[in-house]
Amino acid sequence: MPASHTDLTADAADTADTADGLPQPRRFWALLTLEIAVVMTVLDGAIANVALPHIATVLHARPADAIWVVNAYQFCLMVLLLPAASAGEIIGYRRVSQTGMGVFTIASLACALSPSLGALVLARVVQGIGAALLLSVNSALLRHIYPRAMLGRGVGLMALTVGVSASVAPTIASAILSVAPWPFLFAINVPLGLAAFAIAGRTLPLTPRHAARFDYFSAVLSALGLGLLVVAVDAIGHAGRGWLLGGSLVVSAASLTLLVRRQRARTAPLLPVDLLRIPAFAFAIATSVSAFLAQTLAFVALPFFLQYGLGRDQVATGLLMTPWPLATGITAPVAGRLADRYSAGKLAGLGLGVLAAGLVLLARVPAHPDALALGWRMALCGFGFGLFQSPNNRAMLSAAPHARAGGASGMLGTARTLGQTLGAAVLALLFSLGGTAEVRLALGLSAGVAVAAAGVSLSRLRFLR
């Protein structure tokens, strides 16, 4: 008989490691392990996007087929975050993280050795599985690495890592391609993955584990529900795919409905309906989905705006967009420290308000702006997003019970990915209706969504009194 979901098992080492954070210097090395994992996944995603036209040319692939190099990775990441987080609560976050490092590293080597587009896409599927294992438990591990009073500081440092990695990815991709063939874009992950795997075994904390069996049927329902939701959202932006949209929505809705009903009676469900009953957690999730929708809608539209609307070339576009992630990375650690002292609702609401202002200023930029006029507007958007991200993530993690850190971590990643998927779908729909001439409208719409997200964030101040 399976054990109750409320039962926890922990050996002596587990108990020692689940005190309020890790001591130094172990905390430093544990954080470094998570940061290497984040650098690998962020760089890999961004580099693949930048290098996709080059890879398609070398492998003699059509652009429509080559896009699966990106889509296969993103799809696996989306559908496996919640099951992987649930597995972390059962077998331990460290074990899931180390497995993810191993899978991601081996898959990176397979990507580098791929002789064809089909082989590369298959390797990217495996790489997406590894990324899901890594990212599903990163935040849960962070909660066990840092004392509760310093959790915002840890969240801020992770956001700094993401921001810097995203800002330097185009430069790294260009530098690699200038001296080496495209396989080295993926081979760069191999030494990083080996180093992270070696450090993880000695530094990542052991955590209490739920004495329960993994719910495979719920995992399948979750994958169907979220996966087909992504397919349906993607179909919105493509004309002539009404059958795909309708069929995907029906099966997705049926799967998610059955999943919710199945999870209600469980105290540690794979789909964290128990956490969504906590108002502070639910507000943080809603804020995150809407904020990432706004951010992605704008960030994906901006290259079209800069190149087609303002006549900048590809190199200039990359440089002009760099201030956004760089400002996010610089702001996030400061915001994380502030979140340890001040309300996440106020900080996130203020940040999203600043993001909205920056987006309005970008949408209303003159017809022939110079680099400085564009750069400070980008930086303003990044500052606002950084001020939102760390406090909101901290609120999400701290609202969940300590034993449910895995569910909170998985939901954090799922909310982010869902918002990004919705943002890309809205932009695709605008382009299908009016072409790239609708870019300024996309930026204005993004600003409106950011204002709505700020309203959601600030409303928690009233409801959580």
Nearest CA among 451, 130, 131 for reference residue 291: 451
Which pTM value belongs to this model? 0.78
Mean pLDDT (the chain, rounded): 83
Query: Would you say residue 261 lies in a domain?
Result: no
Query: Would you say residue 250 lies in a domain?
Result: no
Query: Would you say residue 245 lies in a domain?
Result: no
The domain boundary, picked from 215, 235, 260, lies at 215
Domain total for the chain?
2
Give the pair of three-digit tokens for residue 337.
Answer: 């420290």
Domain housing 316? 268-465
Tell whether 190 and 275 lie within a shared domain: no
Tell whether 420 and 282 lie within a shared domain: yes
More confident residue, 69 or 379: 379
What proportion of the chain, given as a percentage, has pLDDT over 90? 23
Specify the pLDDT at position 347: 92
Which residues are registered as beta bridge partners of 209?
Answer: 9
Give the pair of three-digit tokens for residue 412.
Answer: 């954090």
Split at pLDDT 50, 70, 90, the class of 452 is: very high
Query: Would you say residue 171 lies in a domain?
Result: yes
CATH code, domain carrying 152: 1.20.1250.20
Q: Where are the alpha helices (DSSP H) in 212-343?
A: 216-236, 242-263, 273-276, 279-304, 314-321, 323-339
| DSSP label at residue 215 | -
pLDDT digits (tens, 9 = 90+) for 112-146: 999 988 999 999 999 999 999 998 888 888 888 88
pLDDT digits (tens, 9 = 90+) for 192-235: 999 999 898 888 888 777 767 788 888 888 888 888 887 887 77
Query: Would you say residue 253 lies in a domain?
Result: no
Report which secondary-structure segment, H or E, holds 9. strand 8-9
Query: Would you say residue 381 lies in a domain?
Result: yes
Specify the pLDDT at position 436: 56
Split at pLDDT 50, 70, 90, the class of 241 is: low
What is the mean pLDDT of the segment spanning 313-335?
A: 83
Tell whether 360 and 448 lie within a shared domain: yes
Tell whether 207 and 301 lie within a shared domain: no
Tell whether 131 and 193 lie within a shared domain: yes
Nearest CA among 290, 291, 160, 268 for reference residue 214: 268
Tell whether 275 and 422 lie within a shared domain: yes
Tell whether 182 and 81 lie within a shared domain: yes
Query: Would you say residue 262 lies in a domain?
Result: no
Tell whether 182 and 286 lie within a shared domain: no
What proportion of the chain, given as a percentage, has pLDDT over 70? 90
Tell whether 350 and 435 lie within a shared domain: yes
What is the SS3 assignment for 422-454? HHHHHHHHHHHHHHHHHHHHHHHHHHHHHHHHH
Tell whether 180 and 313 lie within a shared domain: no
Q: Is the pLDDT of residue 13 over 50?
A: no
What is the mean pLDDT of the segment spanning 50-68?
A: 75
Split at pLDDT 50, 70, 90, the class of 99 is: very high
More confident residue, 408 or 104: 104
Query: Would you say residue 88 lies in a domain?
Result: yes
Q: How far is CA 260 from CA 7, 263, 266, 281, in A?
A: 22, 5, 10, 17
pLDDT digits (tens, 9 = 90+) for 145-190: 888 788 888 887 887 787 778 777 777 777 787 788 889 889 989 9
The domain boundary, picked from 180, 197, 215, lies at 215
For residues 406 and 399, the answer to whether their CB atoms sit within 8 Å is no
Task: Verify cis geometry, omega within 30 degrees of 0, for the bond prior to 25.
Answer: yes
Tell whether 210 and 343 lie within a shared domain: no
The domain boundary, picked from 171, 187, 215, lies at 215
Tell whether 182 and 280 lie within a shared domain: no
Q: Is the pLDDT of residue 22 over 50?
A: yes
